[in-house]
Amino acid sequence: MSETTQPDALLLPVLPLRNSVLFPMTAGPYSAGRKGSIAALEKAAESADKSVVIVAQREPEVEEPGFADLHPIGTRGEIKRLIRSEETVEVIVEGIERVRLESTEREGDCLMARVTPTPVVLEPGPEAEALKRELVSLARQLRAEDSQFGTRDLAVLLDQVEDPMHLVYLLATLLELDLAQAQELLAASEQQAAMRLLLGYMRREYEVRKLRRQIVGEAKMEMGREQREYLLRQQLKAIQKELGEKAPGASEVEELRERLESAELPAPVREEAERELTRLEGMPAASPEHGVIRNRLDLILELPWARRTEDHLDVARARRVLDEDHYDLADIKERILEHLAVLRLNPEARAPILCFVGPPGVGKTSLGKSIARSLGREFERLSLGGLHDEAELRGHRRTYVGAMPGRIIQAMRRAGSANPVLMLDEVDKVGQDFRGDPASALLEVLDPAQNTEFRDNYLDLPFDLSRVMFITTANTLDTIPGPLRDRMEVVRLSGYSDEEKLEIARRYIVERQRIQAGLGAEQFQVPDATLLRVIARYTREAGVRELERMVGRLARKLALRIAEAGEVPPTIEPELLGELLGRERFRPEEARKDLPAGVATGLAWTPTGGDVLYIEAIRIPEEGKVILTGQLGDVMKESAQAAQNWALAHAGRLGFRPSPGGIHIHVPAGAIPKDGPSAGVTMATAVASLYSGHPVHSDTAMTGEITLSGLVLPVGGIKEKVLAARRAGFRRVILPHDNEQDLEDLPDTVREEMEFLFAERIEDALRAAIPELLPPPQEAATEEVGGYRFAPPMGNDSNAPRGSAE
């Protein structure tokens, strides 16, 4: 609140009202018949500013009210129109401002009042904004359920009104308020008090109108069934008589014909629709084919053959919308803005077909909604997960009972425009069986060269899908057929670091869950320390889906306490998490601080993000035998054999002599299948550690594939793997030298916090993981380039034997 100087008092004529109130920023017609009222209006009309004070009487029976008979708060108005008749004066007055009556005096028949402007005290802030939004929402609801409330332009007017008090007074004029309620609202001196008062009035009005509709509905239902049928039959006879006794289905055909004439259809489609309509006209309503033709015509007339939404080509606005809805994801946002810029230069440009690939919970589906909002297009989503029947996409042929259009055409009908954003979710989980291959059907849908004339089996007419912006989502590309993958532009969404999750929780999750729990901003406060504890101890995921569940659970717990105990501390400190969320689900990695010889820590990529795998090796008595367990795939089995053979072939260089017996390599969590070309370095390190007896550094994780010649090959999923290592507590990571450029995808905090060692050969990885096995040469020191440490290569040591253990 702010202090204001007391304005000067004004001496103005007074128009006392018996049973109504004029609000500021509103206008109303009034009829004056008393001598004093007529004199006041005529005096005001002769003044320069045509000002008059409108104030309500305390008792309507008083003919000549004085100061004591008037309410202290009124409204200074301006006469917009005045019409004189023999006995009355009709005026239209527009309210200007609230005034307080200080005193009154008479000048002949005219009552004059000395008034002081009394503006409402404004209280801007979140609470005022929340009250304003509630008022607007309730007004829209009243208008939607009762056409008698307000006018058609009410929705537009609500959007245009920015002043909260203007909104309050405008809505008050639409309610059936008695004099006491209206005067109480006018007398409210503070903005929020007035808004709360009006909110109570509107809620009561909503309940009254709802009850009135219920009473009317019950009264209508009391009419007997026979009476209703009789009235309906009489009405039907009258209609048929007026139409010249046409057949029962004639009106239906006429309706379809009118819709067909007004529809914008391509020439071939119009020709087919007219042919079908002619068939329908000569077909009995009892014919089985009658319903099929009718449904097909309805589909033709409802599809958006030519209707399009206008694209919002403002790049700055689109960037703002994308930034509002999603944190980071700079590459994806840039790709959308590139397409927007192309549309500005070439409106006929075809939309890209994007495939968002990433772990669950990283925002693939919600990103599609944001793209549609930024472009100003309609958004439709259909899930392909578990889809086995090709007809679900292409539609059923009309010869089948219960035939329906395919999901693509149904989505276009729901969208209502020819250029929506259409999201095909879970495209990697499409099935295949005797009913066909839906993935093959998608080839036509997602091919810009073919989808200009997409034919649905039910519709059986060419429909143009080239203006549709298709977005597909997947957790992995491995299960997507090659030809289908070739039609899509793959955009990868990696997992989030803890810092990124914290920022997402700050910006979106906490506020969203607070609103869903019905808590005020002052009732639910989650400090950063608490969020970090939830991220580290209660979730372990690439996305933020589980984090949102945990924050939602905190909000519900707090709501429960408020419901039971009233006021509770709004700030959730880290110490309260055990009480609210239960015991911690995850703890910092402490189980393997000291690794025995033969155990190495590897990093793996999974569809749900990165993961840490311990690879264990022990000796067994069987000579030359290699046992591999842990549900390993063929690629990992080959990596294990290559790692063992390389270690045996270079035993002399590594400083150990092979002992008789075999080896057993195991990857724990045997119930989970594992495969992929990135475990070679970890296998070789585990085998070398076992044979040499030197343990691997417990703070070091690694990834990379190997060859028999000792090269370390690059692998994928570096960001996910590094984030998994960081979550598990590792601070050193060995990576293939060719993956150095992939570190640019990591957040700056992760790059600064962790140590990365790059290896070109297996010896480089062993030197970094087991320094006791291969100490660095005297002349070679660890090289640091661009902030990263490189393990010195073993080089071409002329003293090291090659190709043999001896």
Q: Which long-range contacts (CB under 8 A, 24 or more apart) does 511-515 make?
A: 512/548, 513/548, 513/551, 513/552, 513/554, 513/555, 514/555
Q: Where are the beta strands (DSSP E) in 20-136?
A: 27-32, 51-56, 73-84, 89-107, 110-117
DSSP secondary structure string for all residues of 730-769: --EEEEEGGGGGGGGGS-HHHHHHSEEEEESBHHHHHHHH
Say which of 333, 674, 719, 721 is annotated catalytic.
Answer: 721
Question: Is residue 643 a contact partner of residue 766, using CB atoms and an 8 Å limit?
Answer: no
User: What kind and span of H or E run contains 653?
Assistant: helix 651-654
CA distance 556 to 567: 15
CA distance 456 to 590: 58
Say which residues have a Cβ less than 8 Å from residue 591's Cβ, sequence separation at least 6. Answer: none
CA distance 696 to 337: 48
Q: How far is residue 113 CA from its own chain's centroid?
A: 58
Say which residues have a Cβ less than 8 Å from residue 640's Cβ, sequence separation at least 6. Answer: 626, 628, 632, 665, 679, 683
Q: Does residue 364 have an active-site annotation?
A: no
DSSP secondary structure string for all residues of 203-272: HHHHHHHHHHHHHHHHHHHTS-HHHHHHHHHHHHHHHHHHTTS--TTHHHHHHHHHHHHHS---HHHHHH
Three-state DSSP string of 673-700? CECCCCCHHHHHHHHHHHHHCCCCCCCE
Question: Is residue 770 a contact partner of residue 697, using CB atoms and an 8 Å limit?
Answer: yes
Question: Is residue 18 a contact partner of residue 62, using CB atoms and an 8 Å limit?
Answer: no
The β-bridge partners of 732 are 700, 755
Buried b / exposed e over 543-577, threshold 16 CB at 10 Å, is bbebbbebbbbbbbbbbeebeeeeeeeeebeeeeb
Q: Does residue 466 have an active-site annotation?
A: no
DSSP secondary structure string for all residues of 708-724: TTSBEE--S-HHHHHHH
CA distance 498 to 528: 11
CA distance 243 to 250: 10
Tokens found for residue 284:
């009995």
Tokens found for residue 466:
């080239």
In terms of DSSP bridges, do strands 599-606 and 732-736 run parallel, antiparallel, or are they unpaired? unpaired
Say which residues have a Cβ less than 8 Å from residue 103's Cβ, sequence separation at least 6. Answer: 67, 113, 114
> Phi and psi of 110, rounded to 5°?
-85, 130
User: What kind and span of H or E run contains 785?
Assistant: strand 783-785
Q: How many residues does the chain have?
A: 806
Say which of 678, 689, 692, 719 is annotated catalytic.
Answer: 678
DSSP H helical ranges for 152-190: 154-160, 164-172, 179-187
CA distance 209 to 212: 5
Question: Is residue 265 a contact partner of residue 305, using CB atoms and an 8 Å limit?
Answer: yes
CA distance 254 to 245: 14
Q: Return the active site residues.
A: 678, 721
